[in-house]
A and B are shown apart, each in its own frame.
Chain A
Amino acid sequence: MRALPILRRFGTLIGFALIVAFLWWRLPDTFMTARNWLNITQQLSMLTVVAAGMTVVMVMNDFDLSVGSMASLAGIVAAMLFSLGYPIWAAVGVALLAGLAGGLFNGVLVGVIGILPFVATLATMTMFSGAAFIVSGGKTISGRVIPEAFGNFARQGLEIGPVTVPNLSMVAVAVVALVWVLLEQTTFGRRLYAIGGNLEAAHLSGVPVRRFKLIAFSLTGLSAALAGLLYASRVASANPTQGSGLMLNAIAAVFLGMTMSEEGEPRVLATVLGVLILGVLDNGLTQMNVDSYVRQILVGSIILVAVSVSALSRSRRS
Chain B
Amino acid sequence: MAVPLLELENVSKSYAGTPALRQVNLSIGAGEVHALMGENGAGKSTLIKILAGVVAPDSATIRVDGKAVQIEDAASAHRLGLRFIHQELNVVPALSVAENIVMAQGYPRRGGILVDWQTLNRIAKEALERLGVSHIDPRTRMARLSTGDRMLVKISAALLSSDGAPARLYVMDEPTAALTREETGKLFAVLNQIRASGSSVLYVSHRIDEVMTMCDRATVLRDGQSVDSGLLSQITHDDLVALMTGRTVSEAYPPRLAEPSGKIAYDGHGLTVRRGEIVGLAGLSGSGQTELLRTIFGSPARAWRTGAAYVPKERRGEGLALGRPIFENITLPHLGTLSLGGAMLMPRRERLFAADRGEDVRLRAASVKQSARQLSGGNQQKVVFAKALSGDPSLLLLDEPTRGVDVGAKFDIYSIIREMTTKGMAVILASSDLPELIGLCDRIAVMRSGRVDTIVDARLTEDALLNLCYGRGPNAEAA
User: What is A's interface to B at a CB cutoff of 8 Å?
Assistant: 1, 184-191, 193-194, 196-198, 200-208, 262-265, 317-318
Contacts and interface: CB of A to CB of B under 8 A. Distances in A.
Contacts, number: 87
B14 to A, nearest CB: 11
A204 B323 contact: no
Nearest to B335: A187
B333 A206 contact: yes
Given A198-B320, A262-B371, A318-B55, A206 B304 contact: yes
A186 B319 contact: no
B437 to A, nearest CB: 23
16 contacts: A185-B344, A187-B345, A188-B343, A201-B317, A201-B320, A201-B329, A204-B319, A205-B300, A205-B332, A205-B333, A206-B304, A263-B324, A263-B371, A264-B323, A317-B54, A318-B15
A202 B335 contact: no
Interface majority SS (helix, strand, loop, mixed), chain A = helix
Contacts of A201: 312, 317-321, 329
Interface of B: 15, 53-56, 73, 300-301, 303-305, 310, 312, 317-324, 328-329, 332-333, 335-336, 339, 342-345, 371, 373, 387
Given A186-B345, A191-B332, A198 B322 contact: yes
A200 B371 CA distance: 18
Contacts of B322: 197-198
A207 B323 CA distance: 17
A206 B312 CA distance: 13
A200 B339 CA distance: 23
Given A1-B56, A318-B15, 14 more contacts: A186-B345, A187-B343, A188-B343, A197-B321, A198-B320, A198-B322, A201-B318, A202-B321, A204-B312, A205-B333, A263-B323, A317-B53, A317-B55, A318-B55
Given A187-B339, A190-B328, A204 B300 contact: yes
A184 B347 CA distance: 10
A201 B380 CA distance: 13
B321 A187 contact: no
A206 B390 CA distance: 14
Contacts of B387: 205
A197 B319 CA distance: 11
B332 A198 contact: no
B332 A202 contact: yes
A197 B329 CA distance: 10
A194 B318 contact: no
Contacts of B319: 201, 204
A194 B324 CA distance: 7
Contacts of B310: 204
A81 B273 CA distance: 64
Contacts of B339: 187
A206 B300 contact: yes
Contacts of A207: 300-301, 332
A204 B388 CA distance: 11
Contacts of A190: 328, 332, 335, 345
B150 to A, nearest CB: 17
What 7 pairs across the A-B complex have the smallest Cβ distances? A197-B321, A263-B323, A206-B304, A198-B321, A205-B332, A206-B301, A197-B324
B432 to A, nearest CB: 20
Given A191-B335, A206-B333, A317 B56 contact: yes
A264 B322 CA distance: 12
Given A1-B56, A205-B387, A186 B324 contact: no
B56 A318 contact: yes
B25 to A, nearest CB: 23
Contacts of A184: 345
Contacts of B55: 317-318
A252 B387 CA distance: 36
A197 B333 CA distance: 15
Nearest to B331: A190
A48 B342 CA distance: 29
Nearest to B312: A204
Contact of B345 (A185, A194, A198, A265): A185
A190 B53 CA distance: 36
Nearest to B315: A201
Nearest to B72: A317
Contacts of B320: 198, 201
A120 to B, nearest CB: 22
A22 B310 CA distance: 56
A208 B301 contact: yes
B300 A187 contact: no
B323 A197 contact: yes
A73 B85 CA distance: 55
Nearest to A263: B323
Nearest to B350: A190
A317 B76 CA distance: 15
Contacts of A185: 344-345
A2 B321 CA distance: 27
A206 B371 CA distance: 21
